[in-house]
């Protein structure tokens, strides 16, 4: 996780430094990491309420009682990013698109870490593969999407929304494969549809 955080901080700075103020960008990077860690831990604690979090300190004793929810972590990071963009008058979808590559590489490193830590549990290798597919999609479409006839507006944000739709579909399949339960299936369907609606709206495809 430490390696993943270092890579995320570096890639976020390298990919966005030309378009954003350095100090604000660095502050955002650390704030996003903090939101990711705290959000993931709190989400796991709420989902597993009463199983291990018998005291306040149990929530933060990573070295004694592990547990982390990546969905909660991503929601927490996403909301923090949205708030920071609004606070600094940055274009939200443009910023999400610019940080998409760093985010998916970050997730790939974390999934590989979990695969090693779990003594080669196959599902984490599958999640790693999904994250890598996300990175590949970002690289393939990032410079071509403005030529798509059906994406009329050509606005920035397409890459972030599109890759999340594909990844949500892949995670839906992974959830069914590993029988993660109906809640996981419904969650991925909702995520996929929400990003699809936003993509259609961003691309002016609701307009006549």
Residue 62 has pLDDT above 60, yes or no: no
Q: Considering its fold, how many domains does the chain have in total?
A: 1
Residue 53 has pLDDT above 60, yes or no: no
Q: What is the pLDDT of residue 64?
A: 56
Residue 59 lies in a domain: no
Q: Report yes or no: 192 and 167 within 8 Å, Cβ to Cβ.
A: no
Q: Which residue has the higher pLDDT, 65 or 4?
A: 4
Residue 57 lies in a domain: no
What is the reported pTM?
0.88
Residue 140 lies in a domain: yes
Residue 208 lies in a domain: no
Residue 55 lies in a domain: no
Domain that holds residue 95: 2-49+66-202
Residue 58 lies in a domain: no
Residue 33 lies in a domain: yes
DSSP string covering the chain, please? Answer: -HHHHHHHHHHHHHHHTTTS-HHHHHHHHHHHHHHHHHHHHHHHHHHTTTTS--SGGGGG-TTTS----HHHHHHHHHHHHHHHHHHTT--HHHHHHHHHHHHHHHHHHHHHHHHHHTTS-HHHHHHHHHHHHHHHHHHHHTTTGGG-TT--S--TTHHHHHHHHHHHHHHHHHHHHTT--HHHHHHHHHHHHHHHHHHHHHTTTT--
């Amino acid at each position: 996780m430490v390696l993943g955080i270092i890579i995320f901080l570096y890639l976020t700075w390298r990919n966005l430094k030309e378009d954003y103020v350095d100090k604000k960008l660095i502050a955002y990077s650390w704030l996003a990491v903090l939101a990711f860690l705290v959000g993931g831990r709190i989400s796991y604690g709420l989902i597993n309420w009463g199983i291990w979090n018998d005291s306040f300190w149990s929530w933060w004793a990573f070295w004694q009682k592990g547990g982390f929810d990546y969905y909660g972590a991503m929601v927490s990071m996403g909301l923090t990013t949205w708030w920071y963009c609004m606070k600094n008058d940055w274009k939200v979808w443009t910023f999400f698109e610019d940080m998409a590559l760093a985010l998916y590489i970050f997730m790939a490193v974390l999934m590989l870490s979990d695969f090693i830590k779990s003594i080669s549990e196959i599902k984490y290798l599958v999640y790693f593969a999904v994250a890598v597919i996300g990175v590949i999609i970002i690289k393939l479409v990032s410079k071509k999407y403005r030529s798509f006839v059906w994406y009329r507006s050509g606005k920035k944000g397409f890459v972030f929304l599109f890759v999340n739709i594909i990844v949500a579909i892949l995670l839906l399949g992974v959830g069914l494969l590993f029988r993660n339960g109906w809640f996981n299936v419904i969650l991925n369907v909702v995520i996929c549809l929400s990003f699809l609606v936003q993509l259609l709206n961003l691309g002016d495809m609701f307009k006549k």
